[in-house]
């Protein structure tokens, strides 16, 4: 058994290569185990690979090529653990509990921009992940001797659909469960291999983060990737210094909205004072479910699919800090209250009588 880290001297991939036939006779070569340093519920997750191929298909790092739930509908939240036991966290709880203290109120009155919190999604907002996915699918097709149709609906499914659905219902590459699991595992390997080469953020992002940092607004990045992969990717792009908080797969958030709520907790900002930067309509819906503002980046989805966003931009150079103030000035922090408003019963009207004296 061998323990391998992400920074292997021979290859950047987190997955070990299949052993050669000359070394397959030794017990050590017959079974290679890769362990990721990510404890989850008291145990480590390993990926086992043998000379004959994959024997088992345990969870691979991060949630890539899956269809995640939006979350936070009707007060849905998540549980976090404290010393005195589990704590149920939802949107209303965080808006109520994450109140500014006296000194913070004074500081935010003098510097109102610091009262905001910015949450950036990873996909196509920080990095061009659509190209990573397309490259992974193209490499898989080449290895399998398959062709990917050029139809628009196929491309959309590949970029935004779950790998199970694409392999079985769109491309028709796999019918047997074992074959599909092997192809999914290889697809994720290829994605991470491409990710380890990524060193350029979305155009204009660094300049926007510089402006935000100057204004004193804390930022967080939310992703379903493995934490170590995320940190290394941010380091390669020289963006780590801009983010006060990171939400990754290790946070065990089972929906998009829960990741946003977790980021708000780490930033110590109420959800209603946070702005989410997204490129996906589902992410915009999740932000609104969390009473957050949503700024949509046009590109992966056309503008007409992002009409629900509070602000839609084609590139970061269109933004200024004053845009954030106007978001809250136009709608205020109670822009979602119409869905939660309690209608109070009005008191009964007094009956007016006229006394006639004869």
| pLDDT of the residue at 281 | 93
The confidence score (pLDDT) of residue 322 equals 86
**pLDDT at residue 86 in the model:** 64
CATH class, domain 78-127+203-330, is alpha beta
C-alpha radius of gyration, the chain, whole number: 25
Predicted TM-score (pTM) of the model is 0.71
**What local confidence, expressed as pLDDT, does residue 85 receive?**
61
Half-sphere exposure of 329 (CA within 13 A, CB side): 8
pLDDT, tens digit, for every residue of 190-243?
A: 999 999 989 999 999 999 999 999 988 999 999 988 898 899 999 999 999 999
The predicted pLDDT at position 104 comes to 67
Which pairing describes strands 311-313 and 293-297: parallel, antiparallel, or unpaired?
parallel
Distance, CA of 182 to CA of 203 (rounded, Å): 35
End-to-end Cα separation, the chain, in angstroms: 109
Q: Read off the tokens for 11.
A: 């290859």
Confidence (pLDDT) at 70: 86
- Predicted pLDDT at 239: 95
Please give the pLDDT value at position 204.
93
Residue 28 CB burial class (10 angstroms; 0-12, 13-18, ≥19) = exposed
pLDDT at 347: 54
Give me the residues of the chain with pLDDT under 50, please: 1-60, 332-343, 352, 358
The CA distances from residue 72 to 94, 245, 253, in Å, are 12, 21, 12
- The whole-number pLDDT of residue 212 equals 92
The 3-state secondary structure of the chain, one letter per residue = CCCCCCCCCCCCCCCCCCCCHHHCCCHHHHEEEEECCCCECCECCEEEEECCECCCCCCCCCCCCCCCECCCHHHCCEEEEECCEEEEECHHHHHHHCCCCHHHHHHHHHCHHHHCEEEEECECCCECHHHHHHHHHHHHHHHHCCCCCCCHHHHHHHHHCCHHHHHHHHCCCCCCHHHHHHHHHHHHHHHHHHHCCCCCCCCCHHHHHHHHHHHCCCEEEECCCCHHHHHHHHHHCCCHHHCCEEECHHHCCCEHHHHHHHHHHHHCCCHHHEEEEECCHHHHHHHHHCCCEEEEECCCCCHHHCCCCCEEECCHHHCCHHHHHHHHHHHCCCCCHHHCCCCCCCCCCCCCCCCCCC
Q: What is the pLDDT of residue 23?
A: 40
What is the rounded distance in angstroms from the CA atom of residue 212 to the CA atom of residue 205?
10
Residue 85 dihedral angles phi and psi, to the nearest 5°: 125, 180
pLDDT at residue 75, as a whole number? 55
Q: What is the pLDDT of residue 50?
A: 33
Give, in order, the Cα–Cα distances in Å from 104 to each of 115, 264, 326.
9, 16, 21
CB 244 within 8 A of CB 262: no
Token representation of residue 154: 């196929």
Residue 210 confidence (pLDDT) = 94
The whole-angstrom separation of Cα 29 and Cα 142 is 28
- Let me know how long the chain is: 358
């Amino acid at each position: 058994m061998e323990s391998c880290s992400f920074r292997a001297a021979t290859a950047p991939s987190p997955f070990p290569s299949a052993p050669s036939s000359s070394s397959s006779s030794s017990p050590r070569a017959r079974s290679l185990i890769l362990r990721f340093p990510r404890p989850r519920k008291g145990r480590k997750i390993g990926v086992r690979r043998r000379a004959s191929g994959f024997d088992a298909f345990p969870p691979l790092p991060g949630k890539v090529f899956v269809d995640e739930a939006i979350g936070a509908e009707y007060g849905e939240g998540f549980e976090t653990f404290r010393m005195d036991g589990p704590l149920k966290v939802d949107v209303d709880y965080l808006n109520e509990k994450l109140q500014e203290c006296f000194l913070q109120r004074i500081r935010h009155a003098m510097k109102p921009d610091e009262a905001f919190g910015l949450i950036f999604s990873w996909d196509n907002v920080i990095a061009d992940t659509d190209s990573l996915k397309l490259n992974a699918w193209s490499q898989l097709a080449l290895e399998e001797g398959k062709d990917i149709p050029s139809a628009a609906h196929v491309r959309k499914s590949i970029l935004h659909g779950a790998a199970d659905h694409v392999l079985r219902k769109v491309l028709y590459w796999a019918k047997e469960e074992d074959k599909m699991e092997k192809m999914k595992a290889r697809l994720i390997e290829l994605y991470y291999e491409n990710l380890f080469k990524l060193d350029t953020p979305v155009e204009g992002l660094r300049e926007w983060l510089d402006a935000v940092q100057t204004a004193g607004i804390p930022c967080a990045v939310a992703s379903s990737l493995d934490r170590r992969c995320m940190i290394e990717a941010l380091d390669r792009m020289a963006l780590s210094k801009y983010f006060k908080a990171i939400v990754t797969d290790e946070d065990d958030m089972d929906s998009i909205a829960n990741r946003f709520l977790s980021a708000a907790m780490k930033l110590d900002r109420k959800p209603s004072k946070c702005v989410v930067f997204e490129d996906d309509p589902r992410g915009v819906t999740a932000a609104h479910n969390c009473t957050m503002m949503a700024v949509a980046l046009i590109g992966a989805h056309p503008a007409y699919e992002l009409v629900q966003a509070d602000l839609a931009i084609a590139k970061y150079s269109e933004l200024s800090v004053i845009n954030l103030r106007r978001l809250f000035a136009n709608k205020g922090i109670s822009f979602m209250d119409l869905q939660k408003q309690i209608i109070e019963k009005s008191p009964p009207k007094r009956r007016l009588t006229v006394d006639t004296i004869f």
